[in-house]
Amino acid sequence: MAASTNPDLLAAQARAALDRDAYDYLATGAGQEVTLTENLAGWRLPLRPRVLRDVSTVDTETSLLGTPVAAPLGVAPLGFQRWFHPDGEVATAKGAAASLFVLSMRATTGFDQLTPVAGPWWCQVYRLQDRQLTVETIRQAVAAGARALVLTVDTPYAGEKARPTEPPAGLPVNALLPGQPGWDDPRCWVAADLSLADIGWFREISGLPVVVKGVLRGDDARECLAAGAAAIWVSNHGGRQLDGAVATATALPEVVAAVADRAEVYVDGGVRSGRDVARALALGARAAFLGRPVAWALAAGGVAGVRSLLDGIHAELWEAMALLGCATVDELIPDLVTGLAQ
Ligand SMILES: Cc1cc2nc3c(=O)[nH]c(=O)nc-3n(C[C@H](O)[C@H](O)[C@H](O)COP(=O)(O)O)c2cc1C
Ligand SMILES: CCCCCCC(=O)C(=O)O
């Protein structure tokens, strides 16, 4: 079982538990994996703790689009989770029940098995080439209790990966979609003509807030908000799309400045500790999401592995806040990492 947040240890445990293809699919970045590496480096921002602050109580609670959460962290959408563990998304959702869980549209488990075990959850979506299939899937997500849609916008085409990613025959790669179409069915490929107008379309057909995931620029963030987005998620898909794209820790301040408190901003990519979550919040994010570490923990330890990882990250965040001199998440401000006033 994974008993640590140490990313090297978790990755080694996952490597031991998985076959080579599954491990490579999980680990890979796009191109020469420059962005994959830069995402990690981006968070190595020196911390500037305040001392002589009253941290006799430290409160990590916040809310995400109105949903109260014990800590400002969540599980990023990860496709094909039954490739990593027989219980796949069900195990992850159980392990993450105290956090926010985002279900991938490329899930390998149907809504019916997932919703009885999940805490609060959002559903990640693409606009598929078949609009009707998209609509029917979203109607099911709404009926199953999704509290928001996370529209991924950085994947008009899948970035060419450094390592093989072909899922094994028999893995139900479209388990959420009516009829469970196969991997090679063009109706389920992502629509490459996705536009700002689709943000309003997703909101209308679902009645849910739409979080736009995959934004790296302030001007794009402003346009998404004007088009009806409820929140912006700074992401480069964990370095799996455009290799060379800016690290998310570097992109975050520009997006936060452009959004200017009009909406919540989230971030993922290379977040590996509670200290990284504290850095993300100091730079203006409302929450940080974890991708690969959750899948490593799932592969190595199933439900208990995921729970242990998220509890560990939460504990690290608590400690980081206490030692930074912050009693609440609102006290995590840019000065603590940049030396610049808010
Ligand atoms: C194995 C794997 C599968 C992923 N599947 C999806 C997906 O289905 N939809 C999506 O929007 N992002 C997907 N992502 C991107 C993650 O949601 C997230 O942006 C990224 O993993 C964060 O970086 P990190 O892995 O360094 O934490 C996937 C990432 C990985 C590693
Ligand atoms: C390599 C194509 C699979 C796409 C579905 C999951 C995903 O987004 C990923 O990055 O992997």
Q: Can you tell me the ipTM of this complex? A: 0.98
pLDDT tens series, the chain, 342 aa: 335 899 999 999 999 999 999 999 999 999 999 999 999 999 999 999 999 999 999 999 999 999 999 999 999 999 999 999 999 999 999 999 999 999 999 999 999 999 999 899 999 999 999 999 999 999 999 999 999 999 999 999 999 999 999 999 999 999 999 999 998 999 999 999 999 999 999 999 999 999 999 999 999 999 999 999 999 999 999 999 999 999 999 999 999 999 999 999 999 999 999 999 999 999 999 999 999 999 999 999 999 999 999 999 999 999 999 999 999 999 999 999 986 655
* Given 15, 106, 161, 237, the catalytic residue: 237
Extract long-range pairs of 245-248: CB within 8 Å, 24+ residues apart: 245/35, 245/216, 246/35, 246/38, 246/216, 247/35, 247/38, 247/39, 247/41, 247/42, 248/39, 248/42, 248/216
Say whether 100 sits in a helix, a strand or coil. strand
Locate tokens 């963030």: which residue? 221
Using the mean position of ligand 1's atoms as its centre, give its distance from the Cα of residue 39 in Å. 13
85 is catalytic: no
The residue contributing the CA closest to ligand 2 atom 7 is 79
**Ligand 2 atom at minimum distance from 240 CA:** 10
Using the mean position of ligand 1's atoms as its centre, give its distance from the Cα of residue 289 in Å. 10
Which domains occur in the chain, in start order? 7-338 (3.20.20.70)
**Ligand 2 atom at minimum distance from 173 CA:** 5
Establish whether 255 is an annotated binding residue.
no
- In order of 82, 136, 246, 254, the CA distances from 39 in angstroms are 26, 35, 8, 16
Establish whether 147 is an annotated binding residue.
no
**Ligand number, closest to the Cα atom of 74:** 1
Q: Which residues contact 104 (CB under 8 A, 6 or more apart)?
A: 77, 78, 79, 80, 81, 89, 124
Using the mean position of ligand 1's atoms as its centre, give its distance from the Cα of residue 163 in Å. 15
Q: Show the beta-strand stretches assigned E in the chain.
A: 62-64, 67-69, 73-75, 100-103, 121-125, 149-152, 210-215, 231-234, 264-268, 287-290
